[in-house]
């Protein structure tokens, strides 16, 4: 096993340049899952990934359609290689090939879909979230295949989705209905970050979320604000009043009963989080770039971002947003509002409480409609298994350091389903950095971490198979 593993590591090192060139080709495809005008690009990205899985020797490679009578979905990419024998475990490698919108475009130093190398980083939308990290899986598999003469040290299934950034409904339905086709002993997810540069990190918890829209309707048509102002309701003002009652100045969410199911992190977790190398002032200044940090007093940044629910407003479409001025009372306005959830909150119950509360505080003369766009469960995964051990051993070899365990404030909706539906542990081994600008302009992936990620995955899969 070790000689093959070392051969795979050597293969990966020798082919680094080509791996990056291939990643660039994938990054040039603007697979923005939320944008209807990009459906064709999203499919092209799926086909690109499928073609490469086939080329490296994976079997049963196919696109799985997720379009149903109810919805238009982006395809899943599936592949497997299951000849390592019954005694060897099966690893389910997960990633996503869709990306967030690149806007605002004028904030990018180089165009988001023209991947550019600068200072040891590759800049592009999706560089780290998650095309670059998903590509590490593919390249680790290629390296192992090459070293093993067309064999792998473990059984492997690969599932790559194209809807993670829009809630992952398609893959969730597939796991519910065809979970048997993803039968595995452990899931490997590389879609999270390292806590600090050079610090190998396993993510052991994710927040869930409910993403909603509140639509406010006042007058039946847009009105002249001089002729009708003073008599007609304004849906933007109404939304502002509603939003102001959702959360107080101390970051406390005011929805009745919202915190009922919130579990406190364990004493061990809190102790471990305190011991992490964290400079709050640097975080405020360099990462967030605001004059102060907000949120619940008395709780650390880690507690606030990993173990507490929160509520944010993302945008308020409607009315007049062009240059200059237009004196109009819009007939309708929308607020996009999401809440992050933590164990043991559930999306259904949280949404019901939120909806009832919003409806109860609707200002006079304005009709509110509260819609759920998508949701995902919060999750904490167990660390007490041989796979986590194999992961920390793999990363110790690569980084020369012990792994830290953190939670992530973000969400990967399908991870909860892996645990609940497939009943398998999940190893979240991610290689992003805190300043990689996920979802923001100038997203990047540190190339050294791309290489170290590939080597870590080669070693992990070899270790699990040993
Ligand atoms: N990779 C992120 C999630 C993430 C980032 C987890 C950093 C831990 C650390 C993922 O692609 C993501 O952005 N998810 C969305 C999900 C949502 C749209 C349902 C998110 O968290 O906003
Ligand atoms: Mn991601
Ligand atoms: Mn993302």
Per-10-residue mean pLDDT of the chain, 466 residues long, equals 91 98 98 97 98 98 93 95 96 98 98 98 98 98 98 98 95 96 98 97 97 98 98 98 97 98 97 97 96 97 98 96 97 98 98 98 97 96 95 98 97 94 96 97 98 98 94
Question: Residues with beta carbon inside 6 Å of ligand 1?
Answer: 129-130, 164-165, 167, 191-193, 203, 206, 209, 374, 376, 408, 410-413, 438
State which ligand 1 atom lies nearest to the alpha carbon of 165. Answer: 18
For the chain, the domains span 3-206+378-465, 208-265+306-376
462 CA from centroid of ligand 2 (Å):
25
- Choosing from 41, 164, 169, 191, which is the catalytic residue? 164
C-alpha 241 – ligand 1 centre gap (Å):
29
- The pLDDT value recorded for residue 69 is 84
pLDDT of residue 135: 99
CA of 367 to the centre of ligand 2 (A): 36
Atom of ligand 1 nearest to the CA of 96: 11
Entry pTM:
0.95
Q: How far does residue 406's CA lie from ligand 2's centre (Å)?
A: 16
Q: Which ligand is nearest to the CA of 130?
A: 2
Residue nearest to atom 14 of ligand 1 (CA): 411
Q: Class assignment of domain 208-265+306-376?
A: alpha beta
Q: Which residue from 192, 207, 412, 416 has its CB within 8 A of the most atoms of ligand 1, so it is best to mutate?
A: 412
Question: Per CATH, which fold does 3-206+378-465 belong to?
Answer: Aminopeptidase (3.40.630)
Q: What DSSP line would sit under 407-459, residue for residue?
A: EESS--HHHHHHHHTS---EEEE--B-TTS-TTSTT-EEEHHHHHHHHHHHHH
Q: Which residues contact 135 (CB under 8 A, 6 or more apart)?
A: 19, 22, 23, 26, 450
Residue 164 a catalytic site member = yes
Query: What b/e string do you get for 109-123 counting C-beta neighbours within 10 Å, with b at 16 or more?
Result: eeebbebbeeeebbb
pLDDT of res. 70? 84
């Amino acid at each position: 096993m070790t000689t093959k593993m070392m051969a795979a590591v050597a293969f990966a090192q020798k082919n680094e340049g080509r791996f990056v060139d291939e990643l660039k080709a994938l990054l040039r495809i603007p697979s923005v899952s939320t944008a209807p005008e990009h459906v064709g690009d999203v499919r092209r990205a799926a086909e690109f990934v499928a073609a490469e899985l086939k080329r490296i020797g994976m079997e049963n490679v196919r696109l799985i359609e997720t379009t149903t009578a109810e919805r238009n979905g982006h395809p899943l990419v599936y592949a497997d290689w299951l000849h390592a024998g019954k005694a060897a475990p099966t690893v389910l490698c997960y990633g996503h090939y869709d990306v967030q919108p690149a806007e605002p475009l004028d904030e990018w130093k180089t165009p988001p879909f023209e991947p550019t190398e600068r200072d040891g980083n590759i800049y592009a939308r999706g560089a780290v979230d998650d095309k670059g990290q998903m590509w590490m899986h593919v390249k680790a598999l290629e390296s192992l295949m090459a070293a093993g003469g067309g064999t792998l040290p473990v059984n492997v299934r690969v599932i790559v989705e194209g809807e993670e950034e829009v809630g992952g409904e398609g893959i969730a339905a597939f796991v519910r209905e065809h979970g048997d086709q993803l039968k595995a002993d452990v899931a490997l997810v590389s879609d999270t970050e390292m806590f600090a540069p050079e610090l190998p990190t396993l993510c052991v918890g994710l927040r869930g979320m409910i993403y909603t829209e509140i639509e406010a309707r006042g007058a039946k048509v847009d009105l002249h604000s001089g002729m009708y102002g003073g008599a007609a309701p304004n849906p933007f003002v109404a939304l502002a009043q509603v939003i102001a009652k959702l959360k107080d100045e101390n970051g406390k969410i005011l929805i009745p009963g919202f915190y009922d199911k919130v579990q406190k992190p364990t004493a061990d977790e809190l102790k471990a989080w305190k011991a992490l190398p964290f400079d709050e002032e640097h975080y405020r200044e360099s990462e967030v770039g605001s004059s102060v940090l907000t949120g619940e007093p008395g709780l650390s940044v880690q507690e606030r971002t990993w173990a507490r629910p929160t509520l944010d407003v993302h945008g308020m479409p409607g009315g007049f947003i062009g240059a200059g001025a237009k004196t109009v009372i819009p007939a309708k306005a929308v607020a996009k509002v999401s809440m992050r959830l933590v164990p043991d909150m559930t999306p259904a119950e949280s949404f019901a409480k939120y909806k009832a509360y919003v409806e109860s505080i609707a200002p006079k003369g304005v009709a509110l409609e509260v819609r759920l766009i998508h949701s995902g469960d919060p999750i904490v995964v167990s660390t007490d298994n041989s796979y986590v051990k194999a992961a920390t051993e793999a990363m110790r070899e690569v980084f020369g350091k012990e792994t830290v365990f953190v939670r992530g404030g973000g969400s990967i909706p399908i991870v909860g389903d892996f645990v609940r539906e497939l009943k398998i542990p999940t190893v979240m081994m991610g290689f992003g950095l805190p300043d990689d600008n996920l979802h923001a302009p100038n997203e990047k992936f540190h190339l050294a971490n791309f290489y170290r990620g590939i080597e870590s995955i080669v070693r992990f899969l070899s270790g699990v198979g040993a």
